[in-house]
Amino acid sequence: MFVVNAEAAVYKDDQWLIIERSLKEDHAGGLLAFVGGKVDSAGESVNILEASVKRELFEEVGVTVKGELQYVRSTMFTLEDGREVINVVFLCELDDCTPFVKSPDEVEALYWLTEEEILDHPKTPIWLAESIKEAEMLRKQKQAIPAAQ
């Protein structure tokens, strides 16, 4: 069995919504991350990964997304207790809403940061650095498509 985790690479203009994980968190407490969490199938049977991303965004930072989520990447890692985690990242934009720390047990702080600021930040773990690079490439491709039409 695997733990399945889904994350939201939320962008606005040239910045990304990044949280500092609460020190109360067992995994990666105090580090920067995308909003996300374990997939919970309660009440969901279709598009469960996307539904989990939307639920986590609302629970942790009080926001909703507009449009469809776009797959960025998936990875696998092992937790300190030996459990294997499949992590899936989705690109998304917010509806007209302002994020705030809604769940202080999970989120210490939130920031809007550029790719460069994230990559240079001392609390950025390698997995976030790798995900932000891929999400940034996808965001730029997505923005170039309307201009080309």
Convert 73-120 into a string of H (helix), E (strand) and C (coil): EEEEEECCCCCEEEEEEEEEEECCCCCCCCCCCCEEEEEEECHHHHHH
For residues 93-110, give the mean pLDDT. 93
Q: Is the pLDDT of residue 148 over 60?
A: no
Pairwise CA distance, residues 99 & 62, whole Å: 6
- The pTM of this model reads 0.90
* CATH class entry, domain 3-148: alpha beta
pLDDT tens profile 35-47: 999 997 666 667 8
Q: Is the pLDDT of residue 132 over 60?
A: yes
Residue type, 106: E
User: Domain residue spans in the chain?
Assistant: 3-148
Q: Which residue has the higher pLDDT, 36 or 147?
A: 36
Secondary-structure breakdown of the chain: helix, strand, coil percentages, each rounded to the nearest 5: 30, 35, 35
Res 81: pLDDT: 86
Res 29: pLDDT: 76
The tokens for 73 are 């990447």
Res 144: pLDDT: 82
